[in-house]
Structure formats: structure tokens, C-alpha cells
Amino acid sequence: MRMKAAVLHAQGLPRPYAETQPMQIEEVELDPPGPGEVLIEIAAAGLCHSDLSTVENQRPRPLPIIIGHEGAGIVRALGEGVTGLKPGDHVVALFVTSCGECRYCVRGRPNICASSFDARAKGTLMSGAKRLKRLNGEPINHNSGLSLFAQFAVVMRDSLVKIDPDIPLEDAAIFGCAVMTGAGAVLNTARLRPGEEIAIVGLGGVGMNALMAAVAAGASRIIAVDTSTQKLELAKEWGATDTFLAGNADCAAAVRDATAGGVDTVIETAGSIPALELAYAITARGGSTISAGLPNVASKFSYLHAALVSEERSIRGSYMGSCVPQRDLPMLLSLYRRGKLPVDRLKSGFVSLDEINLGFDRLSDGTVLRQILRPNG
């Protein structure tokens, strides 16, 4: 079938992207689903900072490629052997596919299963297939087995979680990355308990989800830190008890003074080394610094080893919120339905395929939380 898609042909082009057009809107060919694969119509896809990192060439990918890894849609066709889904079902897409058999999967950590790494590097589905090509026959690479910046996508069955049809797909789309990553970092990685204190450094889509999850978990104190006064105001409105401007030279000292030496749990979601350094600096003795942000693949973070030992600090990563999607997505959607996780507040507007480069200019400016792509109008 033919469809419209945003095809990324070059990484690292200068801004403004609305002028340099790293993504070209093209009519492309999408092959039907093969064994174990599913055709979905994309109802909504979030513009995520990880996608921006790909545009910026912070995360090199094989080109040309259709990016987009956070979204929701409707099942339209099934490949041979697919079970548990039927045409018309509503689904959320997952950017990590797990094998179910390795030591990580059997220990309940499918989010760090390595089975999809090779396919991701080669721009294929887990089956090894490529279902995308330009009209001249040139293959187009898949991104994380999804490629959601298009009207349709062919994905592996294991990349989808079925959801109830009464959940708005434009809200459900955010759960595939921002909600699982941010809320999961609080609920799964940090295992925050009622009455505990937490700080969140970076208030983008992931950070705001962490904030909402901290509120839902009953945190007694929530410290929000960002470079944007506008985002700090929103954080205060949505449940933060204290806010600090990261751009101030004395930010770390101010947080430590206000918290009698630092915070026991600090989650960094900005995906930058300065943000992680700030997060570590405001972590209390015996506390945990958890990073859920993805910086440049070559970025390094340093610390004083002696202090790590003598203060019994810990530094942890949190990928996809340490989630088991089939277990955690229903739980997170239940919190959303009950008004405990109001992710609809995060939507900063909608963009069409023709506006997608402009959307990434806004994301790079830091003026938005989650823009939602409507590839089918």
C-alpha cells in the first residue's frame, strides 16, 4: 500500500528545521504484514526528545529512516500466526521488543532484553524484514521496530499492547514512552513509598510524568528543578511542593539548604550531563540518583569514588521506567482513568505531517511538553 510518511534523510542539519527540513514528507510503499507482524493505522504519535536526539545526530541511525517510537493506533491487518488481536483493536506501541527467554526476561526485566538491539542497528523489524521503501524501490529503515511518523506501520505483534477502546488514542499514545519512562522511574525503579521525598530534575514530558506519579504515590515532598520558569509554574500547579531554577549558579546549594543536606531520591529526566551532575549534587548521603534521560551516546559522567563509598550513594539507570509493559500499562491506564495520572495535561498541541519539522523546532526550544502528531489528519 502507499501512504504518506516523514522520512529522515540527514542527521545533524542546522536549525531551524522548518527551513532545513531534515524530514521530507513523501509517499512511500508499505508492504503487508508478514508472519508475526501487524499492520496498524497510526492515530497519534508523540514528538519525544529521543526523536529529537536522532534528528540532531546524538543517536546515529541508518538512513533513510522513518522515526517515531511513541504512539497508538488501530489494528487493520494481521500477519500469519498472530494471536490475541483482531482488526479494529486499539493498541499502544512499544519501542522495546523482548524475547521472553533470556535471563533478563525470565527475571522480569524485559525492558533491558538485548534481542532487539541487532535489528535496531540494522533498521529492520525483529523478523529481519524491512517493510518500507521509497517509490523508486530504495529500502527505508525502521526505527525501534515502529516508525510511527507515518500514516500506517507494520510492526511485530510483541510491539503492541491492546487497550480498551474508550481510552482516547491521543492520550494513549503518550503511554508508550513518556508515561512508562517517567512514571515507571518513580514507581518501579525508585519504588517510591507514601511519605517519602523526591526531586525531579528536568520537566519535559518524561519529567512531568514522574511528577504526576510522585503525587499519585503519596510523596510528602516533591522538589521540581528545571531551566524553564514556565515549566516550574506548571509543576507547582500539578503537585510540586518546591521549585528551583536550574539556571541559577547556586541551585544545588539552595536545594541542599532547603532539604537539610539533599534529597533521598533524585530522578534526572533531561538527558544531559549537566542535569545529571545537578541531580547527583542534590542527592543526600545514602540516597539514590536515578537517570531516565538519554544523552549523546558518547557522553560520560564522573563522580568522586570515595564519596560514593563513604556516603553510601547509588547511581542507577532507568530504561523504559523498568516496566513490564503487559503488567504496567494496564496499571498506569487505571491511574489515568481515575484521574490520578492526568497525562492529557501534557499535550502541547497537535501537528500534521507537514508541520513535523516545525514541531521539532518547538521541542528543541524547550517551550512544549508533548506535541501529538496526527498523521491521518
Q: Where are the domains of the chain?
A: 2-177+323-373, 191-317
Grid cell 553510601 in the structure block, residue:
312
pLDDT of residue 193: 97
Q: In sequence order, what are the beta bridge partners of 265? A: 288
Which residues 6+ apart lie within 8 Å of 167 measured at CB? 90, 333, 336, 337
Q: Domain 2-177+323-373, what fold? A: Quinone Oxidoreductase; Chain A, domain 1 (3.90.180)
The superfamily (CATH) of domain 191-317 is NAD(P)-binding Rossmann-like Domain (3.40.50.720)
pLDDT of residue 116: 84
pLDDT of residue 377: 85
pTM for the model stands at 0.96
pLDDT by 10-residue block (mean), the chain, 377 residues: 98 98 98 98 97 95 97 98 98 93 94 89 94 97 97 97 97 97 98 98 97 98 97 98 96 98 98 97 98 93 95 97 96 97 95 98 95 96
Segment holding 90, helix H or strand E:
strand 90-93
Instruction: Assess whether the region 2-177+323-373 and the region 191-317 belong to the same CATH fold.
Output: no
Cell of 8: 529522515
Contact 85, 162 (CB under 8 A): yes
Residue type, 269: T
pLDDT of residue 118: 86
pLDDT of residue 317: 98
Max Cα distance, the chain (Å): 64
Cα–Cα separations (whole angstroms), residue 358 to 18, 104, 330: 5, 39, 33
